[in-house]
Amino acid sequence: MLNIPCPFCGQRNESEFAYGGPVKPDRPQPDKVSNDQWVDYLTQVPNPLGPVEERWWHVKGCGTWLTIWRDTRTHDIVEEPGDAG
Amino acid sequence: MPYDVSIERLQLFSLFDLKGPRQGLTDWAGDVLNHLPKAPNQLSREDGVELCHTGANRWLLRAEIGMETDLEAKLRLETAPPEISIVKISDTMTFFRVTGEDAIQVMSIGCPLDLHADAFAAQAVSFTEFFNCRALVLRCRGGFDVAVEQSFADMIADYLDRATI
Ligand SMILES: [Zn+2]
């Protein structure tokens, strides 16, 4: 079980959160990139062996969306979110 | 061995969901909202009105149901300016009062928060989970109040019954 740092609430149990998936690269203009690059953008989900940038929603808590960097090898949260908006 | 605890399903409270910048809320209804707490997940009580800071730019007002008409008049929901939102949600949440020597033990069955006094002090309040439902938890005399969305209330009552056999 992860403890996830919420910028409003502090450290909270993972079960209070909903996983929002990895942060994807910025959406390219479809007419400015090749077909392969466009298909890659649509179909490839970041899944590195190491730190991955992820979105989480404190859905059962304060309702904040936050972004963390989690190391997929250790589950350590290697970078915490900034202040709540 | 059974827990030394008593569980009471409470009558409706008057509840208002308050959103927006704190200055906007206090400018609009300062005589009711002048004690909006600043610190996250803290509550303040004044003249029978409890204000709970439950999220960024978000508070919950709780008061006895008998105060509702007066509060509605003072909060002027319908004419509130667009940068704030005040919504009456009194019938959306059901509160349970868990009190007694083992109240914290029973709470910890359903809630992942550390509810010991050094981690969850007298003025603490937070949305969290309780038996997998989103729930508001705060202290009361001799224990805790926990509120869930009203449609889950019968289920939570059943869980509490089973947990405390
Ligand atoms: Zn939070």
What is the mean predicted confidence (pLDDT) over B1-21? Answer: 95
| Residues B100 and B84 placed together within one structural domain of the fold | no
Q: Is residue A84 predicted with pLDDT exceeding 60?
A: no
Which range of residues forms the domain containing residue B102? Answer: 6-10+92-163
CA pair distance B96, B147, nearest whole angstrom: 6
Residue B107: CATH number of its domain: 3.30.1360.120
Choose the mutation target among B129, B138, B146 for the interface with A, i.e. most A CBs under 10 Å.
B129
- With tokens 């937070």, the residue in question is B126
Please give the residue of chain A at the shortest CA–CA distance from B133.
A60
Helices (H) and strands (E) in chain B, counts: 4, 10
Q: What is the pLDDT of residues B38-58, one digit of tens each?
A: 999 999 999 999 999 999 999
Contact criterion met (CB < 8 Å) for A62 and B128:
no
Do A60 and B128 count as a contact with CB atoms less than 8 A apart? yes
Kindly state whether residues B17 and B58 are assigned to the same domain: yes
The model's pTM is: 0.93
* The CATH classification of domain A3-83, taken from the options 3.55.40.20, 3.40.720.10, 3.30.70.20, 3.30.2270.10: 3.30.2270.10
Q: Mind listing the pLDDT tens digit for each residue in A22-76? A: 999 999 999 999 999 999 999 999 999 999 999 999 999 999 999 999 999 999 9
pLDDT digits (tens, 9 = 90+) for B111-161: 999 999 999 999 999 999 999 999 999 999 999 999 999 999 999 999 999
Q: Does A65 touch chain B (CB under 8 A)?
A: no
**Residue reference for tokens 């059962």:** A60
Q: How far is ligand 1, taken at its centre, from the CA of residue A83, in Å?
A: 11
- Distance separating alpha carbons of residues B32 and B34, to the nearest angstrom: 6
Identify the bridge partners of residue B46 per DSSP, sorted by sequence position. B49
Residue B28 three-state SS: helix
* Helix residue spans in chain A (DSSP H): 35-43
Contact B127 A61 (CB under 8 A): yes
Task: Please list, residue by residue across B3-20, b when 16 or more beta carbons sit within 10 angstroms of its beta carbon and e when fewer do.
Answer: bebebeeeeebbbbbbbb
Which of A2, A13, A57 to mutate to probe the B interface, most B CBs <10 Å?
A13
pLDDT at B141: 95
- A12 to chain B: which residues are within 8 Å by CB? 112-113, 128
Global ipTM? 0.93
CB A37 within 8 A of CB A25: no
Look at residue A85 in the predicted model and tell me its pLDDT. 40
